[in-house]
Structure 1
Amino acid sequence: MHPHPTRRSALMAGGALAAGTALPAAAAASTAAVARETSPAAAGNGWRRLPGILARIRPPTFPDRRFDITRYGAVGDGATMNTAAIRAAITACHRAGGGHVVVPAGRFVTGAIHLRSRVDLHVSEGGILAFSPDPADYLPAVLTRWEGTECYNYSPFVYAYGQRGVAVTGHGILDGQARLGPWESWYRTGSLQGPDQRLLRRMGTEGVPVADRVFGAGHHLRPKMVQFNRCRDVLVSDLTIVDPPMWTVHPVLCANVTVRSVTVESLLHNTDGVDAEASRDVHVTGCRFNTNDDCVAVKSGRDEDGHRVGVPSENIVVQDCDFAGRWGGITVGSEMSGGVRNVFAENCRINPPDFPGHYPVKYPVYIKASKKRGGFIDGVYVRGFTGRGVERDIVFVNMNYNNGEGGTHPVSVRDIHLSHSEIDGARAVLNLVGLETDRLRGVHLSHCVFTGVRGADSVLCTDDLTLRKVFVNGVEVS
C-alpha cells in the first residue's frame, strides 16, 4: 500500500474494473452494514470536534424594525436606479440601532450595496435585486481579495467591510445580470483580464503595498457577487442567487458565518458557489449549487501574499447540500497559502436527479495545492456523500496543481477521510498526487460502496493510505 514514489499503481483488485458491474448480493448486504456501523477510528477522530464547532456558530439576530426601501425612494419597475435609495435605507437602519432593510416585491435595479453593522438586507418573496451591468456602478474601488491577493478593485455587488452582525436574507432573488455586462468578455479570451491578473499576482509576490495595488476603473478584474471582508456574525439565508460575475458568496477573514438554504445558479466561467477564505467557524447548510466551477471551496490566500496575511481557514462545516458543478463538490484550495484545517462535509448529494445541474461534478472531493502556494491542509473529513454520474474521480488530491507553477515553498497535505458514502458512476475512486519532496500523508477511506467505476485508481507519493470495508464494483478493496 506504499507505492514507489515515481510509480502509479492500481489499488483495485485486478486493475481496471468493468464499468457498471452489478452489485452482488454480498456487497449489497455490506451497504446496509456500512450504514449501521460507525467507527471513529476509521472515519477520523476529527469528527469529535464537530459538535463544539457547531455550538459556536450562531447566526446574528436583529431588532424588529423594518425599513422598506420604497420609503426612501426606491422604485421596483426594473428600470429605475435605486442605489441611493437603498443606501439611505441602510444608513437609517444602522443609525437606529439595526433592523431589517426590506426589499418588497418588484424588480429593483441597483449598483453596489454596502452593508453596515446590525443590518439585515431582507429580499422578500417576489422581490428581485437586479445588479447593474455597468462597471461604473461599482466604483469607487474598495479593499478586497481577488483570487487570494489583496487589492483595491470594483466593489462586490453586496459588500461589507469590518462590520459585525450583517445579513442578506429572504426568499427573493439576487440577480447579478452578469450576462448583460462585460464581465464574461473580460474572462473569456484572457486578453483583458489576463494582464491585470498577472500584474496583481506579481504585486503580491513582490510585496507591493496593498494601497498601491489599485485596479477598478480602466482594469478588468471581475467583482465578486457577495463579499464580507473582516466581518463577524454573518448570515446569508434562503435567497436564490443567479448570474454572478465571479465567486458568489465570499466571506474573507471573517468569523461566525452561516450560509443556509441558499440556491446558487452561476454558469459563467469561474463562478464558485461559496468561497470561505481565511475564515473560521463557517457553516454552509441546506444549500443547492449549480455552478460553472467549484460548489463550496475553502481558501486562505495566494502565494506570497497569502503568507503575508497568514490567516488560515479553519472549522468549516458543510452539511446537507446538493452539488452540481463543473469542478469540485467540496474543494480545498488552490489558494491555500495561509493554511486550512478542520474541514467537515457530510450528507451531501452529488448530481442529484431532482436538481439537475448544467455540468456534472468532476470530483466530489477535490484538494489542490502546490509548492508555489505552500501552506498546509490538515484535516478534511467527509462522510455520508451519495450520488451518481461523477465525471472523473471521487477523490482527487493534487499537490502538483498547475504543475507546481515553479514554486519552492514547503507544502503539507495530510489527514483526509472519506467514510459512509455511496456513489454510482466515476472514472476512478482515487487520484492521489503527492510530491517526492512533500508527500501526501494519511488518506483513509472506510465503509463506502462505489459502483459503475470505469478505471483503476492512481496513487503517487502517498504514505499511510488505508481502505476499510470499501467496495468497488462489488469487490471489497483492502
Structure 2
Amino acid sequence: MKKRITHILYYLSVYIIYSCSAQNNNIDHINYFPIEEMKKIEKSIVEPKFKNNQYNILNYGAKADGKTISTESFKKAIQECSKNGGGKVIVPNGKFLTGAIHLLDNVNLHLEDGAEIIFSTNPNDYPIVQTSFEGIELMNYSPLIYAYNKKNIAITGKGILNGQGNNENWWPWKGATSEGNSYGYANGNPSQLDKENLPRLMELSEKNVPVENRVFGNGHYLRPNFIEPFGCENVLIKDVKIINAPFWIIHPMKSKNVIIDGVHIESHGPNNDGCDPEYSKNVLIKNSIFNTGDDCIAIKAGRDAEGRRIGITTENIIVRDCKMIDGHGGVVIGSEMSAGVRNVFAYNCYMDSPNLDRVIRLKTNTKRGGFVDGVYAKNITVGQVKEALLHITMKYSVYGNQDGNFIPKIKNIYLENITAKNAGKYVIFADGLENSKIENITLKNINVDKVEKDFKINNVENLRIINSYVKERKLIMPQN
C-alpha cells in the first residue's frame, strides 16, 4: 500500500511539473532553435563583483614550496577578506600545498600566472561537510574547494588547481570498472563498491534517513568532488586550469547564476566529469576546454527516491563556444536526473576525439524516472566520435538491475547545423519505452561524411528530419 501511494504521488508530481511547464515556458520546442530565449537567460546571469581589496596568502604564512601544508593560511586570508566586505585572496607564483579550501561570501580566490594549488592526498585534510555523491546527499569528505550557502564567490586567474588524483591517490577507491581500467585498484582493496560505502548510501537514501545521519568520511571510500558550490548564488569560475581530480570536477549543487568561463580541464580518472550542474538554475558554461575521463558536461538532478523528494528541476543550462576532447559524452543529461531537467542549450561547440563517445546524450531508466524537456543544439562541429551524434536511452544500466516503476519522460530534442566527419555508429540512437515514447526529435541541416548506420530507433514519436545528408545522400526518416 505504501509503495502504491508513493507511485501515485510521483506521477501526480510529474503531472504538476508538466502542467506548470506548459503554462510558464513559452519556447516552441519543435520548430526552431530558441536563440532569443537563450540570450535572455544568458543576459540574466551576471558576474559577481568584488571590492579591490587584496589578501595575499603569503602574508598569512603560506609557503610556496609545494611541501608545507598551508590550509590555515588560506583559511585566515579568506576569513579576513570576507569579514572586511570581500575582495581577492591572492595566490602568487609558486606551488602551495593545502587541504580543503572553504570560500566565504564576496571572496574571489585568484591564482596569478604561475600559481599552482596542490591539494593534499591525505583524507584527514578534508573535514566532514554536507555534500553529495552520485546524486545522493551525505556527510562526507569536503570537496577540495567548497562553499556552502554563500553568495558572490569566485575562483579566477591563470593558475593551476591540481587535485593529485592518480592510480595511487583517490582513483583506486573507484574499485573495479566495467571498462576494465583498474585505476590502481587491486582485488581485495577497499572501494566505493563495498557494501558499507555506496550501496549503504543508496540504502539510506531509499529509506529517507536524514542527511545528517548519513555519515561517511573516515573509514569509507567515497571520493570528494573537486569544486562544489552548494546552495550558492552568483558564482564565477574563470580561466583556471584544473587537473587530476579525485571525482566530479565542477559540481554546482542547488546553486543559481553560475558562470564557468575559459576553464581548461585535463583529468582522465574515473567519474571525472568536467561539469555537473545539479538541482541548479541559470548556469553558463562558455569558452572552456574539456578533456576528461567521463562526460565533459553531465547535467544532473538527483538520484532515484532522493531526487524525487528534493524535487528541484535543473534548468536553463547554456554550453557555448566550448571544445570537447576525450569523454563519454560532450553534453550529457543523466543518469542521475530524477527531479527533471529542462532547457539545455549547446551552441557553437567543437567536439573531436577518437576517445569521445557521443555528442549529445540522454540517459535514464525506470528506476531513475524523471523527465527531460527541451535540449537544443546548434552550430556543432564534430571531427569524430565513437558512437553517435545523438544518443538517448531509457534503459540505462549501471550497478546492476535498474528496473523500477517510475516511468521517465523525454521530449523536445532539437539539433540544427551539425557537421561531422565521422559520426561513429549512428546519426541517432534512440531507445524509448512502449509506454513512454521519446517525443519530438528534430534534425535540421545535419551533414555527416561518415557513419556506419543512419539510425537505431525504438519507440520514438514525431521524428522530423529537414535538409540533412550523409555523404551527400539525403537522410531519410526511418520507419519506427
When normalised by structure 1's length, the TM-score is 0.88
* Structure 1 residue identity aligned to 2:191: L
Root-mean-square deviation over aligned CA pairs: 1.4
- 2:382 equivalent to 1:387: yes
Structure 2: distance between partners of 1:261 and 1:188: 33
Match of 1:373 in 2: 368
Per-residue deviation, residues 226-248 of structure 1 (Å, max 9, x unmatched) = 00000000000000000000111
Structure 1: distance between partners of 2:250 and 2:371: 24
Structure 1: distance between partners of 2:144 and 2:68: 17
Per-residue deviation, residues 262-312 of structure 1 (Å, max 9, x unmatched) = 000011111000111110000000000000100011111000001111101
Structure 1: distance between partners of 2:51 and 2:133: 34
* Structure 2 residue identity aligned to 1:235: L
Q: 1:181: Cα distance to partner?
A: 5.1
Match of 1:396 in 2: 391
Structure 2: distance between partners of 1:272 and 1:459: 27
- 2:133 equivalent to 1:146: yes
Q: 1:43: Cα distance to partner?
A: 5.3
Residue correspondence of structure 1 range 294-443 to structure 2 within 5 A: 294-351=295-352, 360-402=355-397, 405-425=402-422, 426-443=424-441
* Structure 2 residue identity aligned to 1:423: A
* Structure 1 residue identity aligned to 2:83: R
Structure 2 counterpart SS, 1:193 = coil
**Contact 2:30-2:413 at 8 Å conserved across structures:** no
Match of 1:162 in 2: 149
- 2:461 equivalent to 1:463: yes
Per-residue deviation, residues 383-402 of structure 1 (Å, max 9, x unmatched) = 11102121111110011111
- 2:74 equivalent to 1:80: no
Structure 1: distance between partners of 2:383 and 2:89: 41
- Change in Cα spacing, 1:258 to 1:112, as seen in structure 2 (3 Å) is same
- Change in Cα spacing, 1:47 to 1:156, as seen in structure 2 (3 Å) is same
Structure 1: distance between partners of 2:289 and 2:138: 30
Match of 2:21 in 1: none
Structure 1: distance between partners of 2:370 and 2:408: 5
**Contact 2:175-2:193 at 8 Å conserved across structures:** no
Q: 1:41: Cα distance to partner?
A: 8.2
Match of 2:46 in 1: 58
Per-residue deviation, residues 390-437 of structure 1 (Å, max 9, x unmatched) = 111111001111187011112100001111110111211010000012
Residue correspondence of structure 1 range 72-221 to structure 2 within 5 A: 72-139=60-127, 141-179=128-166, 182-189=169-176, 191-195=190-194, 196-221=197-222
Structure 1: distance between partners of 2:254 and 2:313: 9
Structure 2: distance between partners of 1:420 and 1:71: 53
- Change in Cα spacing, 1:466 to 1:109, as seen in structure 2 (3 Å) is same
- Change in Cα spacing, 1:41 to 1:166, as seen in structure 2 (3 Å) is closer
- 2:442 equivalent to 1:444: yes
Q: 1:47: Cα distance to partner?
A: 3.5
> Percent of counterpart pairs with the same letter?
36
Per-residue deviation, residues 79-112 of structure 1 (Å, max 9, x unmatched) = 0000000100000000010000000000000000
* Structure 2 residue identity aligned to 1:406: D
Paired residues, number: 432
> Structure 1 runs of 4+ off > 2 angstroms?
40-48, 188-191
Structure 2 counterpart SS, 1:50 = helix
Q: 1:361: Cα distance to partner?
A: 1.1
Q: 1:198: Cα distance to partner?
A: 1.1
Per-residue deviation, residues 357-406 of structure 1 (Å, max 9, x unmatched) = 6x621100011011111111000000111021211111100111118701
**Contact 1:43-1:445 at 8 Å conserved across structures:** no
Per-residue deviation, residues 146-201 of structure 1 (Å, max 9, x unmatched) = 11111000000000000000100000000001127531111133751102111111
Q: 1:74: Cα distance to partner?
A: 0.3
Structure 2: distance between partners of 1:229 and 1:63: 23
Structure 2 counterpart SS, 1:420 = strand
Which segment is superposed worse, 284-293 or 47-56? 47-56
Structure 1 counterpart SS, 2:467 = strand
Unaligned runs of at least 5 residues, structure 2? 1-27, 178-189
Structure 1: distance between partners of 2:111 and 2:446: 41
Which segment is superposed worse, 259-268 or 319-328? 319-328
